[in-house]
Structures are given as structure tokens and as C-alpha cells.
């Protein structure tokens, strides 16, 4: 954010500049006298003394007075008063840790700790999206997006990927027609885990005829998605695609003891169940129908595989590290499906084989739809593969299965 804009926001919202905040907090930490002349207009010594009392009370919870990071007691105070205030401390092998703070912003400006401690935010002026790219959007759009992400329990993507989402929204705000593509997984069997963080686990022992765990998560989110699109006044075509191509895997058919036709008939039933379970205006088809048939889908698969075999990852940004990260995240699932492997590297061929399906879907999307965003409920670690031909923004719900 440009300095002149930031200064204007600070002045108009009666915030405390960062430099002043640090000076006063230092005085509190070292228990030094704070006089009226040190304070900005509108801030009293009494207010600062109240923060000082809270600091000293919080300090009593730390037996080791050599606190690192030094503002840690202030973070604890804020956490007690601002529910969406949080922080991550990264040591990075150095003596001086790096602190990444997540806190409400004012017009997307990161505000000082003292401003937060003094309650200089309200529901009217705060925004919780901590991205530098977000200020390209109008303030009302930022709040609408923030409410949606929180309501559906979405994954907050990295800065670069959020920038792609912001640019997608901007094109819609400028009058362009947008597309949202929703991949819908088949109804694989799942069982409760008893773990609130991941309440369901896929067993892959059978294939049902209705809405599986992933499909149901998407169905629950759709009304909120529609509400956000309406609030932003965006023209959007929502297209859902049922994952019938998974019927072409011999290992899938063997594990489920199904023929290809039996698998496809169950996916057709699940497709209809998805359509009947929502009142949101969308179209849903078999993914191979959207491609123009099975042969076209297999052509997309072959194209993606040959490109990756040549070492050309296109716009996916896939690296060896990303492949290993995916293998680590999906190791348990892959072990249940394909059997346990000896090393993490042994799972890479499985990652790539599955990745080619995402690449093929991305190629189909790039060929058939413009201004498209993928809205997914499966594992977000596979999102990179959509962008083989061109960058395709993705927005994912948090996973509730493992």
C-alpha cells in the first residue's frame, strides 16, 4: 500500500502509527514513565496505564522474564480480546524468531499493536484478509469475500494464489462473465474417525449412488457461494463436473469389484443426487461429456503425461518438493488404496498418475471456459496441476476427510 494512502487511513481512522506504537510499548516493557507529551492526540495516560497493568498481569504467567519475542505478552492480551487475532512464531534456526501476525485490518492496512490494544477497530472499519493484493478490490467486496471464506471454512491460499482470485473477481466487477467449475468426486465409502479435525476417513471399499463426503461439503457451501456472487453483482456460470473418468482406472475397478459400466452408472446416480440436493442455479454433467467423450478425455490425459515426461510442467509450478509434500499429505490415503510403500519417494508415481487427471481437467477447462475458477472440496494439495496450460485460480474448502 502506498505510504500516502496508509497515512490517510491512519489519520481518518484515528489509528496509532507503527513508530509511535513501538516507542510506547517499549516504555511499557521496561516500566518507564510515560507522559502526556509522548502520546498522540486523543490518547490519555490513563489508557496507557491500563494497558501497562494488563501487561504486568500477563507477565506473571511467564516465569522466564527473558521473553522472546518481546511483544509476546501483548499478543496474549489481544488474543483474549480479539477472537481472530493469532500469530505464528518461526525460529528459522536463528536466535531472533520471525513472528507472522494475523489480525483484523482497516481498509486492508495492517495496524499497529497499540491501535489494537486501544480498540481502534470496529466491525465497520476492519477487514480480516491479510493480503497485500486485496486492496485492489473495493472495501465492500473485501468484506463480502472475507465473510464467505469464514462462513464456508475455506482454506486461505498463499498470496500469489489469492492475487489470482482477486484478479478473477476484478474481471467480474468490470462486467466480464465468469465461470466457476466444481469437480465432484464419486461417492466412495467412508467411516467416522472420532477425530474432530478429520471426522471421516475414506475406506474405498465400495462406491455408493449418492452424495459422498466431498460432494456434501460442496452442497452445503453452494448457497453461501451464490450469496457472495449476488452481493458482488457478478455474472457467473456455475458448472459442476462428476468424476466419471475414475471409472477408466483398472485398479479402481478391481478394488471396488465393479465393471466400468457399473462404476459409471453409480456416478450418474450421484450426479443426479447432487443436482437434486441444491437449489443453486448450476449445470452438472459427467466430466467426459464436457470433454466431448471418453476418447477426448484420454487425449487430454495423454497430452498432459507426455508434457510432464519431457519435464515441462507448464504453469503448474510443480517442483520435486511439491511432489514430496503431496506424497506426505496423501501417504495414508494412498497406502489404503494402493498398499504401503517403503519410502516417501515410492509414492511419487502415484502422485503423478493422479496429477495427470487434474492436468487433463485443467486442459479441458482452458479449452472450453473463460475466466474460470475451480471451487473444490477435495485435497487442495493437488490444485497446482490444474494450471498446466494456463494459470487457473482455485479456491478450496478445508478438508473434513482423510
Residue where a domain terminates, one of 97, 127, 157? 127
Which of 4-18, 93-107, 215-229, 274-288 has the least mean pLDDT?
Answer: 93-107
- Of 67, 108, 104, give the one whose Cα is nearest residue 89: 67
Look at residue 136 in the predicted model and tell me its pLDDT.
87
pLDDT at 310 over 90: yes
Are residue 75 and residue 105 in the same domain, yes or no? yes
Burial tier of 158 (Cβ tally within 10 Å: 0-12, 13-18, 19+) = exposed
Are residue 208 and residue 150 in the same domain, yes or no? yes
Residue where a domain terminates, one of 127, 160, 187? 127
Would the pTM of this model clear 0.95, i.e. be above it?
Answer: no
Which tens digits make up the pLDDT trace of 281-308? 999 999 999 999 999 999 999 999 999 9
Are residue 250 and residue 371 in the same domain, yes or no? yes
Are residue 271 and residue 375 in the same domain, yes or no? yes
Which tens digits make up the pLDDT trace of 377-392? 999 999 999 999 999 9
Which of 27-41, 94-108, 127-141 has the least mean pLDDT?
Answer: 94-108
Which tens digits make up the pLDDT trace of 248-261? 999 899 999 999 99
401 assigned to some structural domain: no
Are residue 165 and residue 312 in the same domain, yes or no? yes
Are residue 28 and residue 150 in the same domain, yes or no? no
Residue where a domain terminates, one of 127, 159, 188? 127
368 assigned to some structural domain: yes
CATH of residue 278: 3.40.50.620
CA distance 72 to 74: 5
Higher pLDDT among residues 226 and 9, named by residue: 226
Instruction: Find out whether 185 and 215 touch, Cβ atoms under 8 Å.
Output: yes
Give percent above pLDDT 90 in the chain: 59
CA distance 333 to 395: 22
Are residue 300 and residue 235 in the same domain, yes or no? yes
261 assigned to some structural domain: yes
Average pLDDT, the chain: 89
Range of the domain at 63: 3-127
Look at residue 95 in the predicted model and tell me its pLDDT.
63
Count of the separate structural domains present in the chain = 2
Look at residue 287 in the predicted model and tell me its pLDDT.
98
Amino acid at each position: 500500500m502506498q505510504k500516502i494512502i496508509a497515512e490517510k487511513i491512519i489519520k481518518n481512522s484515528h489509528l496509532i502509527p507503527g513508530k509511535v506504537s513501538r516507542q510506547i510499548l517499549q516504555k511499557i516493557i521496561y516500566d518507564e514513565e510515560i507522559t502526556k507529551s509522548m502520546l498522540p492526540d486523543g490518547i490519555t495516560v490513563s489508557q496507557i496505564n491500563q494497558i501497562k497493568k494488563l501487561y504486568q498481569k500477563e507477565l506473571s504467567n511467564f516465569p522466564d522474564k527473558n521473553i522472546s519475542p518481546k511483544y509476546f505478552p501483548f499478543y496474549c492480551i489481544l488474543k483474549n480480546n480479539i477472537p481472530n487475532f493469532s500469530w505464528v512464531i518461526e525460529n528459522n534456526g536463528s536466535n531472533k524468531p520471525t513472528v507472522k501476525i494475523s489480525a483484523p485490518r482497516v481498509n486492508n492496512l495492517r495496524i499497529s499493536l497499540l491501535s489494537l490494544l486501544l480498540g481502534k477497530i470496529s466491525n465497520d472499519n476492519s477487514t480480516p484478509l491479510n493480503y497485500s493484493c486485496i486492496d485492489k478490490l473495493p472495501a465492500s467486496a473485501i468484506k463480502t469475500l472475507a465473510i464467505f471464506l469464514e462462513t464456508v471454512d475455506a482454506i486461505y491460499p498463499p498470496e500469489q494464489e489469492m492475487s489470482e482470485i482477486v484478479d478473477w473477481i476484478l474481471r467480474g466487477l468490470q462486467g466480464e462473465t465468469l465461470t466457476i467449475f466444481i469437480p465432484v468426486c464419486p461417492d466412495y465409502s467412508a467411516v467416522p474417525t472420532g477425530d474432530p479435525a478429520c471426522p471421516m476417513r475414506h475406506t474405498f471399499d465400495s462406491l455408493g449412488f449418492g452424495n459422498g463426503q466431498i460432494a456434501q461439503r460442496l452442497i452445503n457451501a453452494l448457497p453461501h457461494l451464490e450469496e457472495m456472487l449476488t452481493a458482488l453483482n457478478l455474472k457467473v456460470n456455475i458448472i459442476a463436473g462428476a468424476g466419471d473418468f475414475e471409472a477408466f482406472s483398472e485398479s479402481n475397478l478391481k478394488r471396488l469389484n465393479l465393471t466400468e459400466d457399473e462404476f459409471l452408472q453409480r456416478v450418474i446416480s450421484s450426479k443426479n443426487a447432487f443436482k437434486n440436493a441444491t437449489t443453486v442455479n448450476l449445470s452438472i454433467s459427467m466430466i467426459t461429456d464436457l470433454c466431448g467423450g471418453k476418447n477426448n478425455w484420454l487425449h487430454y490425459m495423454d497430452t498432459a503425461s507426455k508434457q510432464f515426461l519431457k519435464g515441462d510442467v507448464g504453469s503448474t509450478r510443480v517442483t520435486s518438493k511439491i511432489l514430496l509434500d503431496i506424497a506426505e499429505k496423501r501417504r495414508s490415503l494412498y497406502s489404503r488404496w494402493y498398499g504401503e510403500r517403503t519410502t516417501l519417494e515410492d509414492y511419487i508415481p502415484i502422485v503423478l498418475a493422479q496429477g495427470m487427471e487434474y492436468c487433463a481437467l485443467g486442459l479441458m477447462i482452458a479449452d472450453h471456459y473463460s475466466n474460470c475458477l475451480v471451487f473444490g472440496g477435495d485435497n487442495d494439495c493437488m490444485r497446482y496441476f490444474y494450471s498446466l496450460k494456463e494459470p487457473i485460480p482455485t479456491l478450496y474448502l478445508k478438508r473434513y476427510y482423510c
